[in-house]
Amino acid sequence: MSVLPAAISPFFTALAAGDDATSTASTALTTGGSSKPILVNESCLEFLMMEMVDLMYRTTADSENDKESVFYKLEVLGYQVGQSLVERFTRDRPRFGDTLDVVKFICKDLWTIIFKKQIDNLKTNHRGVYVLQDNNFRWFLRMSTEGGGAEATKKAVPYLWFPCGLIRGALANLGVVSVVIAETTVLPQCTFQIKIAKS
């Protein structure tokens, strides 16, 4: 189980432009002194992400009634990957002023690294609840069923659990403890709700 986050992080780092990360799972993330970035084929990552959700369903006993287990596995996987990602990508940044800055970093920089676009809409009630809305979620762009609409939306929800964990892990490693829930009303739009724990 712990091999998988180590395998996934290099994919994300290599997608960031101008990064000199290697694409092998076992070696360190930076090779000092290499001039050209080694890039990873994006289709590989897409297929890996698709298969990851299927894998969790396959390896859970009685996965029909035990959605909690599948959610937990995907979320924890995302948590570890999120932690590693922020470790890597906040290296040259100045310190964060407050929690809002951290959330903005996730909306802009982290989302651009992973999904090549920023969060479209950020709302907050200034009391520890943030709502992030992505109107064109990259992983939903190819998902479609025959009827479209509600059926596709229901089947797409498990694919949001990994990004939930990603956000929670990123926040946690930057010092913010939170709970993240995701929902989608119509593909390809999705919303992530972050609840910051009171300190």
Partner 1 sequence: MIYSLYIISKAGGLMYQKDFNEGLAHLTANEYLVFAGTFHGVHAITSKISPVRNSTSSGLEVLEADSFKLYCFQTLTGTKFLIIADPTHANIDLVLRRTYDVYSDYVMKNPFYTPEMPIRSELFDVNIVKLIKQVGG
Residues that bind partner 1 (CB under 8 A): 43, 46-47, 50, 53-54, 142-148, 152, 155, 159
Is the CB of 124 or the CB of 145 nearer to partner 1? Answer: 145
Is the CB of 149 or the CB of 175 nearer to partner 1? Answer: 149
Give the shortest CB-57-to-partner 1 separation in angstroms: 11
Residue 96 buriedness (CB in 10 A; 0-12 / 13-18 / 19+): middle
Is the CB of 28 or the CB of 150 nearer to partner 1? Answer: 150
Residue environment code for 144-167, b if the CB has 16+ CB neighbours within 10 A, otherwise e: eeeeeeeebbeebebbbbbbbbbb
Site of tokens 């999705």: 190
Give the shortest CB-52-to-partner 1 separation in angstroms: 10
Alpha carbon distance 17, 188 (integer Å): 25
Give the shortest CB-156-to-partner 1 separation in angstroms: 8
Alpha carbon distance 29, 40 (integer Å): 14
Give the shortest CB-59-to-partner 1 separation in angstroms: 16
Is the CB of 31 or the CB of 144 nearer to partner 1? Answer: 144
Alpha carbon distance 172, 56 (integer Å): 24
Could you tell me the two tokens for 159? 């694919």
